[in-house]
Amino acid sequence: MSPLTATATVTVTIDDARAAGLCVHGARGWFERHGLDFRAFLEHGIGAEVLLATGDAMALRAVEQAQRRAHTAGAR
């Protein structure tokens, strides 16, 4: 699934970020640099479209992981 399709309903979680190889400490700084609320992300996740709008390669990896998770969960 392309990260540019079907993102409106995908919520990216900290578990997705970790599975994509991102560390929590680095993610915290990344959220701050992009003006995003890291605490809200930890508690509720964040819409894939918000991350994709940053144009950042690390955000893309986390979105792709969330899409894989959502696809796997939907296939059950």
Question: What pLDDT, on the 0 to 100 scale, is given for residue 22?
Answer: 94
Q: Which amino acid is at 38?
A: F
Domain locations along the chain: 11-74
pTM of the model: 0.84
**Would you call 70 helix, strand, or coil by DSSP?**
helix
Which residues of the chain are under the pLDDT cut of 50?
1, 4, 6-7
Question: What pLDDT, on the 0 to 100 scale, is given for residue 76?
Answer: 60
Would residue 11 be called left, alpha or beta, if left means φ above 0 and alpha means ψ between -120 and 50 degrees? beta
User: CB-based burial of residue 16 (10 Å sphere; 0-12 exposed, 13-18 middle, 19+ buried)?
Assistant: buried
Question: What pLDDT, on the 0 to 100 scale, is given for residue 74?
Answer: 73
